[in-house]
Structure 1
C-alpha cells in the first residue's frame, strides 16, 4: 500500500524508519519530512519521498493523496487532529475510503482542551489531580481557589500551547500574577482563554502509550522522558531532551494498576461517550506512592519517547496500522524487544528560547550501533543543516537503560554543529 506520514520531527522520522521496513509498503511519503526521512529506503530499495506540504494544509494533503493513490494517512502531530483532519477525510466522497490513523476532532479534544480531558477522567473514575477551571470573567474566583491550595500551584492553559502552557509555581502571589497574565493578557494566546488550576501531585512521571481501533487496544512499551533543558531537571520546559524504555520503577504490579485503573476505563470511556478513536493515545502518568494518576492525555505519540518505544516494537507497524483501520487489533500479537532503549536529544544553542538555524551538521555517517533520528533538520545545497530547536536524537539498545545510555552518549560525541547542546544526565533519577 501507499502511505503518507504527516509531520517533520523526530517522531515522524521514527515512524518512517519503522514503516519503511514493512514489505506491505509500496511507496512512502512524508509531509513535510526532514533530512532524515529523505534518506530512508523502503524494504524494496525505493526511497521515501518528502513533500513540502504543511500538516494543516488539508486541501494540499487531499491533492497529494489523490495524485499518488495514497491508501493511508498516519498523522504524527496533534495540530491537524485537533483541527479535524480525520473528519475532513470522512466528509469528502473522494477521500472517505482512505484510512486515517488518528482520532476524529471530537475525540482529539482530549488533548485540545485540558478541561475536556479532566471532565472525561472524572466521568469515568480515572484517577487524576483535583482541579477547577476559570475564564477571564472568573479571575477573582481563580484567586480564591489558589488560596485554598497548598503550594506548588499548577496552572495549565486549556488549549494547545505547543507543550509550553503549563506553569508550576511555589509562590502564591506569583501564581496569581501568572493566572492574570494567562487569562487577561493572553500569555499563551487563545490557548489560555481558559485556565485549569489543579492540585500538585508529588511523584515521578512516566509515559504510557496505547494504540486502539476504538474497541480493542495494544499497550506499547512504556517510557520516561526528560522535559527540562537543564541537568538535574532544571530550567525551562522543552519538547523533550531524552527518554528511556522500559521504565525501571514500573514493576509488574504497578503496570497492572495502570492497565486496570487507567487504560481500560479510558478505552471504555471513549466508547461510552461515543468519541470515535482510531490511533495512538499517550497517557502522561505520575507515580504517587504506589498509585498511578493521569496528568494529561495526548492524542498521538510523544516525542522523544517514540524514538525509544518504536525501536522496541518488533511487530510490523503497517500490520498494526491496518488492524487499527479494520477494527481487528485483537488479532495482532505485539512482540517487544527485551532490550532497553535510550535516546539523547541534541538541540540548538539557546533553545527553548531564541536560537539560530542553518548550522551544518557533521559526522552522522560515522555513527554505528545506534539509530539516528532527525528532528529539526533540512537539506540545503547537499548538506544537512539545523532547522529547529530539537535537532537530532541518538537512540541505542542495551541490556539495561544504563548500557543503552552509555552507547548513545559515545555516539553523540561524534556529532557536531555550531552551539550544539545536550543533557549529559538523562536517567540521573532512576
Structure 2
C-alpha cells in the first residue's frame, strides 16, 4: 500500500518512522516532511492545508491511505473533501470529519459535547461580543485562579491562567475586544481551574469501537521545574507512573467510552486519533481538552512503545475492524527531551548547523527531527523546537538520562533543553521534606 502522511514536525517524523517499519507499506510519502522524515520515505512539496493539492497527489500516485498528522487539515475539512469525490471515497483516511475535528477546533463545542454526554470536566461558561458585559461581571465574581480559553485554534497559545480578577478582565478584553488570538478568541470559554497532575491519553477509533494506546505525560513550560512560558512541549515520558490500572479503568469507563459512544450517537464520522488531555484531581480524572490528532512531543514516546504494526492498526480503524485488535506496548519506559532554539517560545535565530544528528546513537535512542532543513548536505535549525531525543530505559530516570547523554553529542549553537523532564518520577529530583 502506498501511504501519504501529512505534516512536517517531530510528530510526523515519529509516525513516518513507525509507518515505514510495516511490510504493508510499499511506499511512504510525506507532505511536506522534514530531513528526518526523508530518512523514512519520500518528502513531497504538497501543502497539507490545500485540499485540492492533496487530492491531486493521491490520484496521481495511487495512494491507498492518508494519515493526517496536524489538526489544521482536519479542521479545514480534508476528510469531507475526500468523501465528496467518488474517486477518493475508497482511500483509507485516518482523521475525523470536519464536524469531528470541532472537538479540537472549538473549545465551546467540546465543552458542550462533554456536558451532553456526562463526561467529567471543569465547570464553564462561554462569552462573545454579544454578552461581553455579562462576561466581565461573571469574571469579577469567579473564584481564582480562573482559566480563559480562546474558542478556536490558536497554535497552542490560546489558554491563559489568570490569578487576579484585574488580570482576568484585562485578558478577557484583549481576547474579545482586541482579537488577541485573532478569530480564535472571538468566543472565549471561561473555566474553573482544576488543581492536579496532567497526562495525555490516546485513543484510536473507527467511530464505534476503539483501542487505547500507551499514555504519556508532556512538559509544556520552557523552564526547569515547570516554570516560565508555555511551549509546544519540552519533553514527554511514557508510561505515567501515577496512572495505575485502577485510574486508567476510571478514564476508560467515565471518559473514553462515553466520548466514542457520543460520537456514534450524534452520527459524527470519526476515524482516527482522539487525544484526551486529562488532569487527575485527587485520583479522579477530568478532561481538560480534546485534540483530533496525536500530540507532540507525546507521539515521540508513544510510537516507540507501540509494538503493533501501525499500518495494520490504522487499516483496522479505517475498515471498522478495531474490535478484533489488541494493543501491545513495550514494557520499558520511554522519554523524549526536546532541543529548542535559544529564545523560544519568543524570537529565535534559524540556520545553525546541527552537529552529530546523522550519527548512530545505539539501540536505546532515536533522534526525531522537528524544525530542521537541509542545505548543501548540512542539517540546519529551522524552527523553535528543533529536534528531540527519545530513549528507552528500565525506568523513566534511565530513559531521560540516556537522552541527556545523546544531547551531549547532537548539538547546535544557541541550543537549550530541559534536564529535568520526568523530574517527579526521578528520585534525584525529588527533594526530601524535612520532618516538623
What band does the TM-score fall into relative to the shorter chain? over 0.9
**Where does residue 10 of structure 1 map in the other structure?**
10
**Where does residue 291 of structure 2 map in the other structure?**
298
What SS does structure 2 have at the residue aligned with 1:347?
Answer: strand
Q: Is 1:323 aligned to residue 295 of structure 2?
A: no
Deviations 1:175-210 (A, max 9, x none): 100000000000000000000000000000000000
**Where does residue 375 of structure 2 map in the other structure?**
380
**Number of residue pairs matched?**
423
Deviations 1:364-392 (A, max 9, x none): 21432301111111111111111111110
Of 71, 94, 104 in structure 1, the residue corresponding to residue 97 of structure 2 is 104
What SS does structure 2 have at the residue aligned with 1:429?
Answer: helix
Following the alignment from structure 1 to structure 2, what is the Cα–Cα distance between the partners of residues 174 and 73?
44
**Where does residue 45 of structure 1 map in the other structure?**
none
Deviations 1:194-245 (A, max 9, x none): 0000000000000000000111100001000000111111111111000000
Following the alignment from structure 2 to structure 1, what is the Cα–Cα distance between the partners of residues 352 and 53?
30
**Where does residue 390 of structure 2 map in the other structure?**
395
What SS does structure 1 have at the residue aligned with 2:423?
Answer: coil
Q: Is 1:192 aligned to residue 185 of structure 2?
A: yes
Deviations 1:142-191 (A, max 9, x none): 11111222111100000000110000010110110000000000000000
Q: TM-score, normalised by structure 2?
A: 0.96
Deviations 1:318-368 (A, max 9, x none): 001110111001111211100010000001111111112121111121432
What SS does structure 2 have at the residue aligned with 1:120?
Answer: helix
Of 411, 418, 427 in structure 1, the residue corresponding to residue 413 of structure 2 is 418
**Where does residue 26 of structure 1 map in the other structure?**
26
Q: Is 1:409 aligned to residue 404 of structure 2?
A: yes
**Where does residue 144 of structure 2 map in the other structure?**
151
Contact 1:367–1:414 (Cα < 8 Å) also in 2 = no
What SS does structure 1 have at the residue aligned with 2:82?
Answer: helix
88-97 or 277-286: bigger deviation: 88-97
Following the alignment from structure 2 to structure 1, what is the Cα–Cα distance between the partners of residues 282 and 142?
20
1:177-326 correspondence to structure 2 within 5 Å: 177-326=170-319
1:68-83 correspondence to structure 2 within 5 Å: 68-83=61-76
Following the alignment from structure 2 to structure 1, what is the Cα–Cα distance between the partners of residues 365 and 28?
23
RMSD: 0.9
130-139 or 6-15: bigger deviation: 130-139
109-118 or 63-72: bigger deviation: 63-72
What SS does structure 1 have at the residue aligned with 2:415?
Answer: coil
Contact 1:157–1:195 (Cα < 8 Å) also in 2 = yes
Following the alignment from structure 1 to structure 2, what is the Cα–Cα distance between the partners of residues 55 and 151?
41
Following the alignment from structure 2 to structure 1, what is the Cα–Cα distance between the partners of residues 346 and 50?
27
Following the alignment from structure 2 to structure 1, what is the Cα–Cα distance between the partners of residues 155 and 300?
19
Following the alignment from structure 1 to structure 2, what is the Cα–Cα distance between the partners of residues 286 and 333?
26
Contact 1:229–1:236 (Cα < 8 Å) also in 2 = yes
Shift of 1:115: 0.3
Q: Give the ranges of 4+ consecutive aligned residues of structure 1 lying more than 3 Å apart after TM superposition.
A: none
What SS does structure 2 have at the residue aligned with 1:206?
Answer: strand
Following the alignment from structure 1 to structure 2, what is the Cα–Cα distance between the partners of residues 200 and 221?
27
What SS does structure 2 have at the residue aligned with 1:353?
Answer: coil
What SS does structure 1 have at the residue aligned with 2:350?
Answer: coil
Shift of 1:93: 2.0
Following the alignment from structure 1 to structure 2, what is the Cα–Cα distance between the partners of residues 135 and 371?
46
Following the alignment from structure 1 to structure 2, what is the Cα–Cα distance between the partners of residues 366 and 424?
22
Following the alignment from structure 1 to structure 2, what is the Cα–Cα distance between the partners of residues 355 and 67?
39
Contact 1:153–1:197 (Cα < 8 Å) also in 2 = yes
Of 344, 351, 355 in structure 2, the residue corresponding to residue 351 of structure 1 is 344
1:360-379 correspondence to structure 2 within 5 Å: 360-364=353-357, 365-368=359-362, 369-379=364-374
**Where does residue 138 of structure 1 map in the other structure?**
131
Q: Is 1:63 aligned to residue 56 of structure 2?
A: yes
Following the alignment from structure 1 to structure 2, what is the Cα–Cα distance between the partners of residues 37 and 101?
18
Q: Structure 2: which 5+ residue stretches go unaligned?
A: 426-436
